[in-house]
Structure 1
Amino acid sequence: MATIKRYPWISHFLGSPTGYVVHLQKGTVRHQGVGQAFWFRPASSVLSEVPVDDQELPILFHAITNDHQDVSVQANVTYRFNDPVSVASRLDFALQPSGTATMAGREQVATIIGQLCQSHAIDQIATTTLAQALQRGVSELRNLLTGALQTDSRLISTGIEILGVQVLAVRPESDVERALQTPVREQLQADADKAVYERRAVAVERERTISENEMASKIELAARREHLVAQEGANARRQAEEVAAAGLIQATAEAERQGISATAEAHQLKLVGEAAAAREAATMAVYKDMDQATLLALAFREAAASLPNINNLTITPDLLSGVLAGLMPNTPADQAGLPTLGK
């Protein structure tokens, strides 16, 4: 940005590195160039400053397609002033007394370039449908506008050089754009739903596999439990059979032992009986030759051994005489010296 210092009847100009200044005094160029510094009289001087750096111009306009659809075109044009003297002579880039440039020159350039872009773009879009404009309109308009602006005679004669044109977007109206986006959104939603369903199917398949594995494990455990129960039953049956066999052997041995014991006891009883019989026989043989009185006395002796205790015994004369008579049958009682009972 240039600076102007004002003094009485004279001023001093100090230019900028990106501004091309043209100093006219009474219609004659006195100073021109970048970064100039000079004194001038404000009453007889006219100063113009043209920017020599690259300029960016955003452009937005509407066009109608072949199928009567409105589309908006957003573009950006990069340009510069390659002939500042011609630009200063044809466009208004005059400096104000404070040193700031007016915006009239930039507005004129924006109008010229914008109208050129819009006219060429409208002609091109009018020959295409909405689908074609949206599909290849960006590249086609970029090539078309670049070639048309770079070869435009008015821009060349004015000293404006087009460096490049970028078409950023070709978009339909919002309602149409949403309608065009609906099939894609539906397709994307369908793909998302398909992915969800596939994920669920995979999850269900995995759950089924897990359930089958769990069921197989339960079946295997049940089979093993059944085998264990059968084995335990077989072991218990074998143990019972072993216990029964052992009991049978023990009972058989006990029966044989008791049989042997009974046989021995019977044999012993037989021997004892035979001995007792022999003794009785011998006794009876001894008793055979004894008289009646002796046998009676022995019988009383044997009987006395088994009789209970007798505290009082009453002997009558008849009983005593009968016993004594039995003991001495051949001897009268008076001869034997016994008293006669009853006399």
Structure 2
Amino acid sequence: MADITRVLFLRHLSASATSHVVHRRRGRVVHSGQGLAFWFRPLTSTVSEVPVDDRELPLLFHARTADFQDVTVLASVSYRFADPELVATRLDFGIETDLGTWRSDPLDQVSTLLTQLAQQHALDLLASMPLAEAMTGGVAAVRERVGAGLAADERLRDTGIATVGVRVVGVRPEPDVERALQTPARELVQQEADRATYERRAQAVERERTISENELQSRITLATQEEQLVAQEGTNAQRRATEAAAAARIEAQARADADRLASQARADGLRAVGAAEADAEQARMAAYAGAGQGVLLALALRELAGSLPEIGSLTLSPDVLTGALARLAAVPAGPAADADADRGR
């Protein structure tokens, strides 16, 4: 509000930048403008102060839809006084010259006017809409209808009031109706949630099945590889045994061949030795056949001496010698004697 200073019979007014002051003296406009400061005489002057800043008017009213459902409209209207001098002539914005306050409450009049006009347009619109449509598209529709209706209203234009904007926060039904309307959507959301849960569980089961199949396939692959390994090890062991048996057989055959060859060599050696001994014996017999009796006796004595044990000393008496010589003389001469006899004849 304006600041007024009292000096005797004069008053000094100082207005803010957002206030338009209209000073009239005897019905004529003396001062008119924003943020003015001037002296005036209260006995001959009237001063009106009109705010020129944007004002917000919250709205809350009830309406009924085409299907007889009560709804609550939450909105707000922004307005301003576009023509302050015209507003000062249509509404009482006069101030007390001593205190600087309004003599009445003009902003309440403006609020009541705007509320009634906005409510009228909103009620007309919602009365032609069912509840479902009002819930889905009612906010935008009410905002457009109320904004267009206030902008085209002749009374506001003639009063100097201009609407800056209209905002509709919501169109809400009664709580029980709202809960009933929310139930299908909640059920749908719950169904979607359940479906997502089931799909997630199905995916988990499918993944577990895939993992189990992979594990089983891995076990089958390992078992197959183990079977192949065992078969290969058996084949290798059989091959090693076969090769070892073949080697042992070859070695045994080689040893048998070596033994046979050695036996044959020994037999050949024995035959050769026997043949040589036989030839030697035959040659010796042949030699004995051509020798005389004395020679044979000497050889026999030599053989006998070689067969006797070692004798340190031997004493022969004439009796022993005579008996031995007699026995020797009685021994047949053998083939050599026969040969000598044949040569004597």
Confirm or deny a common fold (TM above 0.5). yes
- Secondary structure of 2:241's counterpart equals helix
Q: How does 1:228-307 map to 2 (within 5 A)?
A: 228-280=229-281, 286=288, 302=303, 305-306=306-307
Q: Equivalents in 1 of 2:308, 2:112: separation in Å?
A: 171
> 1:7 is matched with which residue?
7
- Secondary structure of 2:53's counterpart equals coil
For residues 25-57 of structure 1, the C-alpha deviation after alignment (integer angstroms, 9 at most, x for no partner) is 466544333343321123543322112333322
Q: Which amino acid is 1:122 matched to?
A: L
- Secondary structure of 2:48's counterpart equals strand
> 1:105 is matched with which residue?
106
Q: Equivalents in 2 of 1:316, 1:42: separation in Å?
A: 212
For residues 134-158 of structure 1, the C-alpha deviation after alignment (integer angstroms, 9 at most, x for no partner) is 1332233234333443444543443
- Secondary structure of 1:42's counterpart equals coil
Change in Cα spacing, 1:90 to 1:314, as seen in structure 2 (3 Å) is: farther
For residues 86-114 of structure 1, the C-alpha deviation after alignment (integer angstroms, 9 at most, x for no partner) is 43344342335454557821122112211
> 1:337 is matched with which residue?
none
For residues 150-204 of structure 1, the C-alpha deviation after alignment (integer angstroms, 9 at most, x for no partner) is 4445434433233443333111233432332232233233323433443444454
For residues 249-276 of structure 1, the C-alpha deviation after alignment (integer angstroms, 9 at most, x for no partner) is 3333332232222222212212322333
> 1:87 is matched with which residue?
87
Q: Does 2:39 match 1:39?
A: yes
Q: Equivalents in 2 of 1:85, 1:284: separation in Å?
A: 187
- Secondary structure of 2:11's counterpart equals strand
Change in Cα spacing, 1:317 to 1:46, as seen in structure 2 (3 Å) is: farther
Q: Does 2:181 match 1:183?
A: no
For residues 278-325 of structure 1, the C-alpha deviation after alignment (integer angstroms, 9 at most, x for no partner) is 444555663898879x76x87676455455567999999997775465
Q: Does 2:31 match 1:51?
A: no
Calculate the TM-score normalised by the size of structure 1: 0.74
- Secondary structure of 2:93's counterpart equals coil
> 1:166 is matched with which residue?
167
- Secondary structure of 2:250's counterpart equals helix
| Structure 1 unaligned residues grouped into runs of 5+ | 330-343
> 2:78 is matched with which residue?
78
Q: How does 1:55-66 map to 2 (within 5 A)?
A: 55-66=55-66
Q: Please state how far the C-alpha of 1:235 moved relative to its aligned partner.
A: 4.0
> 2:342 is matched with which residue?
none
Q: Equivalents in 1 of 2:39, 2:6: separation in Å?
A: 10
Change in Cα spacing, 1:319 to 1:193, as seen in structure 2 (3 Å) is: farther
Change in Cα spacing, 1:135 to 1:328, as seen in structure 2 (3 Å) is: closer
Q: Equivalents in 2 of 1:155, 1:69: separation in Å?
A: 31
> 2:334 is matched with which residue?
none
Q: Does 2:115 match 1:134?
A: no
Q: Equivalents in 1 of 2:152, 2:257: separation in Å?
A: 140
Q: Which amino acid is 1:61 matched to?
A: F
Q: Does 2:117 match 1:116?
A: yes
Aligned pairs, number = 328
| Structure 2 unaligned residues grouped into runs of 5+ | 331-345
User: What's the RMSD between the two structures over aligned residues?
Assistant: 3.9
Q: Please state how far the C-alpha of 1:58 moved relative to its aligned partner.
A: 1.8
Q: Equivalents in 1 of 2:282, 2:82: separation in Å?
A: 178
Q: Which amino acid is 1:160 matched to?
A: I
> 2:343 is matched with which residue?
none
Moved more, 130-139 or 159-168: 159-168
**Percent identity for Structure 1 against Structure 2:** 53
Q: Equivalents in 2 of 1:312, 1:203: separation in Å?
A: 123
Change in Cα spacing, 1:137 to 1:103, as seen in structure 2 (3 Å) is: farther
- Secondary structure of 1:94's counterpart equals coil
Q: Please state how far the C-alpha of 1:14 moved relative to its aligned partner.
A: 2.8
> 1:194 is matched with which residue?
195
Q: Which amino acid is 1:93 matched to?
A: F
Calculate the TM-score normalised by the size of structure 2: 0.74
Change in Cα spacing, 1:101 to 1:215, as seen in structure 2 (3 Å) is: farther
Q: How does 1:146-165 map to 2 (within 5 A)?
A: 146-165=147-166
Q: Equivalents in 1 of 2:41, 2:319: separation in Å?
A: 212
